[in-house]
Amino acid sequence: MKKTGVLHPELARIIAGLGHGDMLIIADAGLPIPDGVERIDLAFSPGKPAFVEVLAAILGEMQPQSVVLAEELRQASPGFLQEIKSYFNSSTKIDFVSHEDFKQSSQQAKAIVRSGEFTPYANVILVSGVVF
């Protein structure tokens, strides 16, 4: 039995298999998941698990080189945006794209991790970096 970190077996497998430049998405409860992209569905109730709980757990296991957020998040939930940004250091590149472009990019993700988050546009693309 795994003792620490991400205990969910499929999520741990996905994280362990990420290579440099691979994309992993953490999504709110409403983001459409394209056919052919693996779905790791953690949602079990509105708001549970919270997006930031999932983000914190995944960031404990992987090193993102950059992140992508929806431009609409700036207007819809500026406080939530600041909370998300607080999980990244100043060297992590943060890009903003339209929500439509975000959804298009999701087709290239290794997996989409669905949280129970109900905050609009609470989605992030984590682009895997390297630890050396």
Extract the tokens encoding 21: 């430049």
The single residue of 13, 20, 48, 74 carrying the catalytic annotation is 20
Contacts of 110 (CB under 8 A, 6+ apart): 14, 17, 18, 22, 23, 24, 37, 38
Cβ-count burial of 19 within 10 angstroms (0-12 exposed, 13-18 middle, 19+ buried)?
exposed
Separation between Cα atoms, residue 38 and residue 36, nearest integer Å: 6
Active site residue 20: yes
DSSP state at residue 7: -
| Cα of 5 vs its chain's centroid, Å | 16
Catalytic residues: 20
